[in-house]
Amino acid sequence: VRQYAKAQGMWRDAGSPDPIFTDTLELDMGTVEPSLAGPKRPQDRVVLSNAAPEFKKHLETVKGKVPEVPVKGGDYAMKDGHVAIAAITSCTNTSNPSVMLAAGLVAKKANALGMKVKPWVKTSLAPGSQVVTDYLAKADVQKDLDALGFNLVGYGCTTCIGNSGPLPDAIAAAVTEGDLNVVSVLSGNRNFEGRVNPHVKSNYLASPPLCVVYALAGSMLIDITKEAIGKDKNGKDVFLKDIWPTNKEVADTVAKALTPEMFKARYADVFKGTKEWQAITGAEGQTYTWEANSTYVANPPYFVNMPKKPGAVTDVKGAKVIAIFGDSITTDHISPAGSIKKDGPAGKYLIAHGVTPADFNSYGARRGHHEVMMRGTFANIRIKNELCGGVEGGITKYAPTAETLSIYDAAMKYKADGTPLVVVAGKEYGTGSSRDWAAKGTNLLGVRAVIAESFERIHRSNLVGMGVLPLVFKNGQTRADLKLDGTETLDITGVAAGISPRMDVTLTITRVTGAKETHTLLCRIDTLDEVEYFKNGGILPYVLRGIGS
């Protein structure tokens, strides 16, 4: 690092002259407060002292049907706000020894007081590196984490990506019966709706030590900055200050437990793997041999019947609206990464191909199979299609019969009829992870255009890369102004005459009465390169044609 910084002219030490900066930013450290993020997005920061009041306010609109539901076989009941999952997970925080060892010290102090994690909390520890295991053990705090249920479950992506596993049956049944709004607290980096667990509606990102604290408290409705977190072995109230380590305790523990040798030892043979990994055999050759029966990897249809030269770009004629979504629709809403429902299109496909629900794995694990992934597009359990009155789940109204179908099934019916599709949405469409399948799945469902109030930068680019038109309203217009109910026919014209970056296109809406109206939209194909991608039907055909020529 020193050599690189010096070579770049970026090295500074005590004897260096003060650098000249264009701008200087000042931060009053007294204004910095501990924070969480939730309950639905990473950018929804909430100050720790306001977490409980803010969640109470959130519950006013999304509380359960009943105050509580007794858990079968237990001496407790599930309630709104109960923490169902507390997970120290993801490389985001587990690469920071200070917060990991702070979590261990919180556990150590809690155990010394005889505290217990609430019985309805599912706990786990999944660091991003085996070095974490080494220094937790050397600091003698892993046993304390184990005692509270934060046992090692693996390394890498787990709860954050939806691989937490199911809640205990009795707890899941109680949550479902009461339609309760229970919570996960995790040290990951994503908390989008439907991502962590299908039974958990609210998800908060927190530091590893706070994950331990909330497991002890058991509820988001407890203000852990003021109220008792639990009781000690003598029945005395325990507060956050009683178990929170000092900065010196954390620093001293890091100094004693962490050494450079740990990293050298663990990474010396990082690519060697376990005996099981070494035993895996793979086919050799310049091209992949597709296995017809595989439900993990399949030959995608992106190049089927692709001509050597791209055809003329056509306008979108006679389209139907497959879905109308609200604001902040994330790529997790569009293409979920977590568990696969057995009664959904993807689950039914897997069952039909001999896969039992126990072996479904996750959407994230099956990204190499387009048949699974296109069936999972818009299949998030928390997505709300305004064509269906805001009911949760990936459903839509199929216009010709007015029946309610899964978005996948309706899209396939439209595709069979040769009907192109359009998605309409609010602000920040495609926010979140830069997930390519959110654009791939949209393309495979037959969606020709997405009309939104605004797009997330990367998803807009990905849509263009898959040959889907990203269009935005102009002059402050919103989706509500169109007054769509799904029965209309849409034409989008102007692209056939020639595409240029950020050009205007015309949207013509034909109502069932025959009445027509037109609107001007901004085409968010932003660059000349993107124009070429779109003319080729997407970046994949563009690249293949380039190789072929």
Comparing 19 with 543, the larger pLDDT belongs to 543
Residue 454, domain CATH: 3.20.19.10
Claim to verify: residue 191 and residue 327 sit in the same structural domain: no
Tell me the pLDDT of the chain averaged across its residues. Answer: 95
pLDDT of 471-481, one tens digit each?
A: 999 999 999 99
Beta bridge partners of 490: 319, 509
Task: Tell me if 24 is assigned to some domain.
Answer: no
The owner of tokens 């007081």 is 113
Task: Tell me if 234 is assigned to some domain.
Answer: yes
Query: Which of 16-25, 248-257, 349-358, 492-501 has the lowest average pLDDT?
Result: 16-25
Claim to verify: residue 538 and residue 439 sit in the same structural domain: yes
Claim to verify: residue 41 and residue 164 sit in the same structural domain: yes
Longest pairwise C-alpha distance within the chain: 80
Cα–Cα–Cα angle for 405, 200, 341, nearest 5°? 35
Q: Looking at the predicted structure, is the pLDDT value of residue 255 above 80?
A: yes
Residue 62 binned pLDDT confidence (cut-offs 50, 70, 90):
confident
DSSP tag of 241: H
Task: Tell me if 273 is assigned to some domain.
Answer: no
Q: 3-state class of 343 per DSSP?
A: coil
Q: What is the number of domains present in the chain?
A: 2
- Cα–Cα distance measured from residue 510 to residue 224, given in angstroms and rounded to the nearest whole number: 56
Q: Phi and psi at residue 362, in whole multiples of 5°? A: -140, 165
SS (HEC) of 189-240: CCCCCCCCCCCCCEEEECCHHHHHHHHHHCECCCCCCCCCCEECCCCCEECH
Claim to verify: residue 318 and residue 227 sit in the same structural domain: no
| Residue pair 232/113 in contact by the 8 Å Cβ criterion | yes
Ordered DSSP codes for 422-485? EEE--TTBTBSS--HHHHHHHHHTTEEEEEES-B-HHHHHHHHHTT-EEEEE-TT--HHHH---
Structure tokens, 350: 């897997």
The owner of tokens 């929170």 is 244
Claim to verify: residue 544 and residue 417 sit in the same structural domain: yes
Q: Average of pLDDT values for 114-133?
A: 96
Extract long-range pairs of 291-298: CB within 8 Å, 24+ residues apart.
293/353, 294/369, 295/350, 295/353, 295/355, 295/366, 295/369, 295/372, 296/365, 296/366, 296/368, 296/369, 297/368, 297/369, 298/368, 298/369, 298/370, 298/371
Claim to verify: residue 231 and residue 312 sit in the same structural domain: no
Residue-wise burial string across 408-422, b where 16 or more C-beta atoms lie within 10 A, e elsewhere: bbbbbbbeeeebbbb
For helices 247-257 and 130-138, the axis angle rounded to 10 degrees is 110
Task: Tell me if 101 is assigned to some domain.
Answer: yes
Q: Average of pLDDT values for 16-30?
A: 89
Claim to verify: residue 316 and residue 211 sit in the same structural domain: no
Claim to verify: residue 254 and residue 394 sit in the same structural domain: no
Task: Tell me if 237 is assigned to some domain.
Answer: yes
Task: Tell me if 293 is assigned to some domain.
Answer: no
The owner of tokens 């709706």 is 193
Claim to verify: residue 245 and residue 326 sit in the same structural domain: no
Task: Tell me if 533 is assigned to some domain.
Answer: yes
Query: Which of 9-23, 133-147, 185-199, 225-239 has the lowest average pLDDT?
Result: 9-23
- Residue range of the domain that includes 500: 302-335+377-548
Last residue within a domain, chosen from 267, 294, 317: 267
Last residue within a domain, chosen from 221, 247, 267: 267
183-186/202-205 β-pairing:
parallel
Beta bridge partners of 493: 506
230-231/395-398 β-pairing:
unpaired
Claim to verify: residue 244 and residue 137 sit in the same structural domain: yes
Claim to verify: residue 397 and residue 464 sit in the same structural domain: yes
Residue 151, domain CATH: 3.30.499.10
Claim to verify: residue 186 and residue 313 sit in the same structural domain: no
